[in-house]
């Protein structure tokens, strides 16, 4: 790449970073009009790399809001984490502001790229394949961001006409309203369909691959209530890889900073993975602000390969012996480098298929695939007589054990808080509480009068 092209692309990225802080209506169209900015698959890949690097990592925050953790003696010393754990409105306002801005920053980068891809010239079959993969990745990554925003800021597909999120296709200033949830689901499906039609021959799991597109498609269909299709898509991945991928050696590799056969998509930004989950640590000698909830820690069996990576029993003079979260935090305790964050893995497909099958009335099939998985993990199998709600509860329980501290439980609580997971809590809000819909950030609706706020959250003015 020439020095001029590098300078132009760097300026493009700088403008994205500079202007994304106020609202999702980030840059004016002419800020990307330079024809030298993105003219080859290589320069397109650099902009896509910036989008990947900008992905938010809310896993710890979402796990804190769920029921994975409980506070230790040190928790009150970190007011921001403690306020988030107790669902204080201001803490949720702060969290939503960062997530909204960061996801839409990624979307702005992807829109800039997708506007340019039709004009990229290719001179070889290798270039054509690179451009094809690049475009498919951009579609899937945009769908991924939309889906996360929808899960966080909207009520769910049971209210299809309720406000969803803002759909952006142009790199231009536009005051757009939030679209109905049903329209948002349709747009996410459209993006994923385009990605799948293009195909994607890439195999590097630090980039979006065709497997990641397939898994995200399954998760979206489960969210939308299209359970038969969700199960079908998820089973495609399970059939492709087989259940031996769930064996202990592959699970260990997920956390050992090595390649795992179970990985589908990883986040490996060197300047950000090293600090992942750092905020939970009060002091390496004194313990963490939060430990794993005792009932959850006790549910791991001695032969379960997930146990030593999920639970770190640590004894300190101040706290005694407590079950602290392992995974990335264990690596840090052992002074080992954290080189990636697992964003998507085959176990996501396993639980998507199992949940969809139960909802489709195919409990026997759901038990079968769950027990194939649990036998490889070394965990206790599900009883043959489990059906209906008890079976679904058992699946959700195993899912919590699998993804402890990774934020997945938050979305299950939001989905099933009114029914299966309605255990009374003085901390986690009941179903219907306004806090389950994160607030639209102030910096968005002040600059975009068409953006509605979620119910019961304030919509302040410039004078506040």
| pLDDT at position 399 over 50 | yes
List pLDDT tens digits, range 259-312. 899 999 999 998 889 889 999 999 988 999 999 999 999 999 999 999 999 999
Give the pLDDT band (50/70/90) at residue 34. low
pTM: 0.93
Provide the pLDDT for residue 271: 84
Q: Which of 384, 104, 360, 406 is nearest to 370 (CA)?
A: 384
Read off the pLDDT of residues 342-385 as tens digits, 9 standing for 90 and up: 999 999 999 999 999 999 999 999 999 999 999 999 999 999 99
Tokens 């760097």 -> residue: 10
Q: Average model confidence (pLDDT) for the chain?
A: 91
| Band of residue 38 on the pLDDT scale cut at 50, 70, 90 | confident
Fold annotation for 1-57+78-202+429-459: 1.25.40
Which residues, listed in sequence order, are joined to residue 344 by a DSSP beta bridge? 265
Tokens of 12: 């493009």
Half-sphere exposure of 393 (CA within 13 A, CB side): 12
Residue boundaries of the structural domains of the chain: 1-57+78-202+429-459, 270-342
Q: What digits encode the pLDDT tens for the residues 41-57?
A: 999 999 999 999 999 99
**Residue 404 pLDDT:** 98
Residue 113 has pLDDT above 60, yes or no: yes
Task: Name the percent of the chain lying above pLDDT 70.
Answer: 91
Q: What residues contact 363, with CB distance under 8 A and at least 6 apart?
A: 357, 386, 387, 388, 391
Lookup result for tokens 């385009």: 194
Distance of CA 301 to the CA centre of its chain: 27
Which pLDDT value is given to residue 36?
Answer: 62
């Amino acid at each position: 790449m020439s020095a001029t092209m590098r300078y132009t692309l760097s300026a493009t990225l700088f403008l994205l970073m500079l202007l994304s802080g106020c609202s999702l209506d980030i840059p004016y169209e002419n800020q990307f009009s330079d024809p030298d900015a993105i003219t080859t698959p290589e320069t397109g890949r650099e902009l896509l790399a910036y989008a990947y690097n900008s992905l938010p990592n809310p896993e710890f925050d979402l796990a804190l809001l769920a029921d994975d953790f409980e506070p230790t003696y040190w928790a009150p010393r970190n007011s921001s984490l403690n306020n988030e754990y107790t669902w204080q409105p201001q803490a949720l306002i702060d969290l939503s502001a960062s997530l909204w801005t960061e996801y839409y920053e990624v979307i702005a980068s992807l829109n800039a790229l997708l506007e340019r891809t039709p004009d990229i010239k290719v001179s070889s079959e290798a270039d054509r394949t690179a451009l094809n993969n690049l475009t498919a990745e951009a579609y899937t990554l945009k769908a991924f961001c939309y889906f996360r925003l929808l899960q966080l800021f909207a009520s769910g597909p049971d209210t299809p006409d309720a406000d969803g999120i803002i759909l952006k296709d142009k790199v231009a200033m536009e005051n757009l309203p939030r679209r109905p949830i049903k329209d948002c689901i349709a747009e996410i499906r459209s993006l994923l369909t385009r990605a799948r039609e293009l195909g994607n021959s890439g195999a590097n799991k630090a980039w979006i691959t065709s497997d990641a597109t397939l898994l995200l498609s399954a998760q979206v269909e489960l969210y939308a209530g299209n359970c038969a299709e969700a199960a079908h898509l998820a089973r495609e991945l399970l059939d492709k890889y087989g259940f031996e991928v769930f064996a202990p050696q592959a699970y260990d590799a997920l956390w050992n900073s090595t390649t795992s056969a179970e990985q589908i998509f990883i986040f490996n930004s060197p300047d950000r993975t090293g600090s992942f989950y750092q905020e939970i640590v009060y002091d390496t000698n004194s313990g963490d602000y939060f430990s794993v909830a005792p009932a959850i820690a006790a549910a791991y069996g001695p032969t379960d390969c997930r146990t030593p990576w999920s639970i770190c029993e640590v004894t300190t003079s101040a706290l005694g012996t407590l079950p602290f979260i392992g995974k990335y935090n264990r690596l840090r305790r052992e002074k080992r480098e954290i080189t990636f964050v697992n964003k998507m893995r085959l176990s996501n497909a396993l639980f998507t298929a199992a949940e969809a099958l139960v909802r489709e009335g195919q409990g026997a099939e759901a038990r079968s695939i769950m027990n194939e998985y649990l036998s490889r993990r070394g965990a206790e199998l599900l009883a043959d007589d489990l059906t209906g709600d008890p079976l679904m509860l058992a699946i959700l329980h195993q899912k919590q054990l699998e993804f402890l501290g990774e934020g997945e439980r938050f979305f299950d609580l939001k989905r099933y808080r009114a029914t299966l997971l309605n255990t009374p809590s003085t901390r986690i809000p009941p179903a219907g509480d306004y806090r389950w819909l994160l607030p639209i950030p102030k910096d968005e609706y002040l600059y975009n009068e068409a953006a509605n706020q979620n119910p019961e959250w304030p919509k302040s003015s410039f004078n506040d």
